[in-house]
Amino acid sequence: MNEITYRPIGLVHSPFKEPKGTPIQASGAKGIQGKIEVFPEFAAGLKDLEGFSHIILLYHLHLIKETSLEVKPFLDKNTHGIFATRAPGRPNSIGISVVRLVGIDNSILTVKDFDIIDGTPVLDIKPYISEFDYRDVTKNGWYKENVHNLSESKDDGRFV
């Protein structure tokens, strides 16, 4: 298969300047505010986005230097396969966060519950639609033992 390339549509402006200390998931970043700068050539794509309370951000984890198929994730002491984790050191360094959309001013989105590092390239923005995106989850795999630690868990720099 041929290589796939993406062109960023925008840039993250965040209070987090480095991975260390950054919340490890958006749900662990309650109230933290950031901005998404959408590049002018993509600004027309924001039409009608203000009608949504939450958005899904897809972004390039640009600070990841190494990847591994087995990792020790932030919420466990054991090693797991990368696809059984939300760890950033993935074969394709793509991140995803569901954040609360606070407002849009021209091509700048203000968001809350924000866990992304400053300068991160944004690949795509999608509206979060509860009827499409919500699932009644019945199994959380190995996370079930540790997910209660999410709010105090922060990036410790292990994946950079």
Q: Which two tokens stand for residue 60?
A: 């390039």
Q: Is residue 70 part of a domain?
A: yes
Q: Is residue 2 part of a domain?
A: no
Q: Which pLDDT band holds residue 140 (cuts at 50, 70, 90)?
A: low
Distances in Å between the Cα of 37 and the Cα atoms of 8, 41, 116 are: 11, 12, 13
Residue 129 lies in a domain: yes
Give the chain's domain count.
1
* CATH code for the domain of 112: 2.40.30.70
Q: Is residue 1 part of a domain?
A: no
- Provide the pLDDT confidence category of residue 160 given band limits of 50, 70 and 90: low
Distance CA 21, CA 19 (A): 6
Q: Are the beta carbons of 92 and 43 closer than 8 angstroms?
A: no
Q: For the residues 132-151, what does the mean pLDDT come to?
A: 62
Would you state the torsion angle of the CA atoms of residues 57, 121, 12, 120, taken in this order, to the nearest 10 degrees? 110
Instruction: Quick: pLDDT tens for 12-45.
Output: 999 888 876 666 566 656 678 999 999 999 999 9
Query: Could you tell me the CA-to-CA distances from 54 to 25, 44, 57, 95, 137 in Å, in that order?
Result: 15, 19, 10, 16, 20
Highest mean pLDDT among 86-90, 113-117, 135-139: 113-117
Burial class (CB in 10 A: 0-12, 13-18, 19+), 91: exposed
pLDDT of residue 18: 81
Q: What was the pLDDT predicted at 37?
A: 98
44 lies in which domain range?
10-151
Residue 90 lies in a domain: yes
* Per-chain mean pLDDT for the chain: 84
Which DSSP symbol is given to 154? B
Q: Within 10 A of 5 (CB to CB), how many other CB atoms are there? A: 5
- Is 160 within a domain? no
Residue 133 DSSP class:
H
In a domain, 36, yes or no: yes
Q: How far apart are alpha carbons 14 and 37 in whole angstroms?
A: 11
Phi, psi of 64 (to 5 degrees): -70, 125
